[in-house]
Amino acid sequence: MPKIVDANDRRELVADAVFEVVAGRGLAQASLRNVAQQAGLALGSVRHYFDNQAELMVFAFRVNSERCHLRALDRLEDLEQSELPKTGAQLVDKCAAVLEELLPLTPASRGEAVVHMEFMLAARTDEGLHGAAQDDYRATGAVVGRVVMQLLESGLVAGSPEPVDEAERLIAVLDGLSLRMVLQPAWSAPEQGRATLRRHLLALLA
């Protein structure tokens, strides 16, 4: 009896091969042939699931983005469904646990961040990737915005900050940390990234 292959599983397997090629050799090397070779598949098998390289790149970009944001959303739901912490230190720890899912703090998440940056840079001039990039921006903004609302609802934040402004500042911190940790790992270790994020969150509190 022939083995039944799940199309979604096979598409994600191909996406994983894209990530390996991009992380090791750059986005320009992620041809259908190179990806098929990385996945251990025949070129025709890859073409069975993706009509062309552009379609594969958009799919891989979305998978890369969704995996990261889904982890953050799992943490965020735990934060939102729990009673708000009574102390600033506890609140910062809870919020940081969500936001750290958006940072390259482990070997696996660092690899994801490398691939993510390659896609985001390519989306600047590649119209086909533009929509996926915009969805990625919105997903990050949604996670960060909800964290900011938790901070504001705690009553522990100093003054009356504008939620959108604070979300933009926090996104800038996350983007800057990600860039430094990927490009300058010797200078920006995960421990420093965690500490910098927490210092920023603590600075918001009264």
Q: Give the C-alpha separation, 194 to 176, whole Å.
A: 13
- Domains of the chain (ranges; CATH) run 1-51 (1.10.10.60), 66-203 (1.10.357.10)
Average pLDDT over residues 64-85: 94
Please compute the mean of the pLDDT values over residues 85-102 and round it to a whole number. Answer: 94
Q: Note the pLDDT of residue 5.
A: 58
Res 53 pLDDT > 80: yes
Q: What is the mean pLDDT of residues 103-109?
A: 96
- Identity of the amino acid at 72: A
pLDDT above 60 (res 1) = no
Asked if 200 and 170 touch (Cβ cutoff 8 Å), the reply is yes
Residues 6+ apart with CB under 8 A from 168: none
Higher pLDDT, 85 or 75: 75
Q: Are 46 and 138 in contact (CB under 8 A)?
A: no
154-180 average pLDDT score? 95
C-alpha dihedral over 22, 137, 151, 98, to 10 degrees?
Answer: -30
pTM: 0.91
Is residue 185 helix, strand or coil? Answer: coil
List residues bridging with 205 in a β-sheet: 157
Please report which confidence band the pLDDT of residue 84 belongs to, taking 50, 70 and 90 as the band edges: confident
